[in-house]
Structure 1
């Protein structure tokens, strides 16, 4: 009798466990099927937008747009080109004289621009100037984090101060500007954050240890921020990460790759036009020219030795300083 009583007590528990397991398994496979269908539809949608239908360009007329690093190079050319679309530009740079010149050129073209001296590596300066902009001009709709420096030296030739300055300017400045401007974007339910990374943010090369680390960090920052905005239902704030190849900006000595027809050195005009097009179409991760996108996807799947052979064949695009 004792044996039968034990069976009577255990059988219902086993039966209950089996039913629960079967039910949970069914739910799992239903969710898996839902995931599969959503992935398929998302892939089809992405393929259509990539090959057949381009996203329409949005209007930025009368929108307040902040550009960091606006005194020289890409930042300056971005300001001059974006001015044609009718926004109100707020230009930041540590070089106030050249930043003022950029603003003056925008005004000569019929645009509106305000110039500020800001060291974007310094959070206090970013915070104080962001408050000043909000109080005197208005709410910033778009932040273009463009400020950057490039040492282009072997690690053992870099100073600790130089490394720290690169990380602060190229990476931490993104944290500072976003912390200052994102809360207001969340309040009004709209905004756009643009981060200038690089193909060196996708794979490291010699003489780019500090620079690559900062640009890898930018991509990681933007990906994590994108997910935070998604899970907190701030989907109306757009994030765009730009990853161009080597650009003739004067930051370093550029030399062409062995297959320049596929992996060219970019000129400023093409680079700026591509960036603006990506911004106006709300693109997410922008790797260009297209040859570098292919190059990136190939070498990240290859064993280390194979990647080294390929990159050695292609050649480096800079000479160390």
Structure 2
């Protein structure tokens, strides 16, 4: 080991201590919250579930305009009308984020009819809810196309303009299952793990881009139609999250500039334990986390 390498090894504990203290100071003295009055927010899967609450919460906290994307026009229209009645300008467009050409086409329509998107919320997702051997191949592909590849297309469609304006934010509604998978949702867990890697890489790539940032939300079991088949080992200790809470914490995280948010905060312990536990202990964590059985194919927030 040369002198330079030895110096880096010796400095590592000091660097870790510095970043821990820096994080502590930021936690105790949070920065002023960003105003949303200049922002045009687009929420995928915005017609129902968490997406609907996200759109309403962004409007409530002062977003200039809200745009909804999804595959079910009836749900989109109902949500848009509700938001418009609250006093915030809201538009909706039918768009399947799994379809690359459709995403690029509708992104162009949004720019021409509404304006430049400055906050992109990648929320659309589906879950097949079966084991690998019981899953149809097309169903598995559909989960990956919507939950993972859809983020590639939407981000490529809107991020360039954010970079030009030096004003933008990319948000991903992920899941704790991206880091602690469960049986019965192999398609969803795999897609969310890929989605998390996408967001981590994107966040690092944007560190030197002024005015543009990322936020990834990793919630526990949320009480929506999508996860009616979810079963946890201790439901009294860890009840499902309300979608309204997930939406509120997401908007607060965007305004505070937080990169990653675990909901509830106790999920940090689950991820930490997984990093150190051997296989037997991991199996116990999986039992604690729960399992999933979906009665209907393709439940989701699209």
Tell me, yes or no, whether TM beats 0.5.
yes
Q: In structure 1, the residue corresponding to 2:290 is in which secondary structure?
A: coil
Quick check: 1:249 aligned with 2:224?
yes
**Are the counterparts in 1 of residues 35 and 255 from structure 2 also a CA contact under 8 Å?**
yes
Partner of 1:178: 155
Matched residues in 2 for 1:254 and 1:263: separation? 16
Matched residues in 1 for 2:72 and 2:294: separation? 25
Moved more, 259-268 or 93-102: 259-268
Structure 1 residues 299, 202: closer, same or farther in 2, change over 3 A? same
- Aligned runs of 1:107-256 on 2, under 5 Å? 107-230=84-207, 233-254=208-229
Q: In structure 1, the residue corresponding to 2:215 is in which secondary structure?
A: strand
Structure 1 residues 54, 261: closer, same or farther in 2, change over 3 A? farther
Give 1:62 deviation, angstroms. Answer: 3.3
Quick check: 1:79 aligned with 2:61?
no
Unaligned runs of 5+ in 2: 296-302
Matched residues in 1 for 2:190 and 2:14: separation? 37
Q: Which of the residues 283, 290, 295 maps onto 1:316?
A: 290
Q: Who wins on radius of gyration, i.e. which is larger?
A: 1
Give 1:111 deviation, angstroms. Answer: 0.9
Structure 1 residues 137, 63: closer, same or farther in 2, change over 3 A? same
Quick check: 1:54 aligned with 2:54?
no
Q: In structure 2, the residue corresponding to 1:113 is in which secondary structure?
A: strand
Moved more, 236-245 or 273-282: 273-282
Partner of 1:267: 242
Matched residues in 1 for 2:291 and 2:133: separation? 20
| Deviation per residue, 1:289-317 (Å, 9 max, x gap) | 122221121123100111102332x2515
Give 1:157 deviation, angstroms. Answer: 2.0
Quick check: 1:300 aligned with 2:278?
no
Unaligned runs of 5+ in 1: 1-20
Q: In structure 1, the residue corresponding to 2:77 is in which secondary structure?
A: helix
Root-mean-square deviation (CA, aligned residues, Å) is 2.0
| Deviation per residue, 1:151-182 (Å, 9 max, x gap) | 11122221111111110111101000111111
Structure 1 residues 262, 284: closer, same or farther in 2, change over 3 A? farther
Q: In structure 2, the residue corresponding to 1:290 is in which secondary structure?
A: coil
**Are the counterparts in 2 of residues 256 and 265 from structure 1 also a CA contact under 8 Å?**
no
Matched residues in 2 for 1:164 and 1:299: separation? 28
Structure of higher RCO (CA pairs closer than 8 Å, 6+ residues apart): 2
Higher fraction of helix: 1
TM-score, normalized by length of structure 1?
0.85
Moved more, 184-193 or 140-149: 184-193
Give 1:28 deviation, angstroms. Answer: 4.3
**Are the counterparts in 1 of residues 213 and 257 from structure 2 also a CA contact under 8 Å?**
yes
Q: In structure 1, the residue corresponding to 2:206 is in which secondary structure?
A: helix
Structure 1 segments, 4+ long, off by >6 Å, are none
**Are the counterparts in 1 of residues 185 and 292 from structure 2 also a CA contact under 8 Å?**
no
Matched residues in 1 for 2:217 and 2:271: separation? 14
Quick check: 1:92 aligned with 2:69?
yes
Matched residues in 2 for 1:267 and 1:35: separation? 41
**Are the counterparts in 2 of residues 264 and 289 from structure 1 also a CA contact under 8 Å?**
no
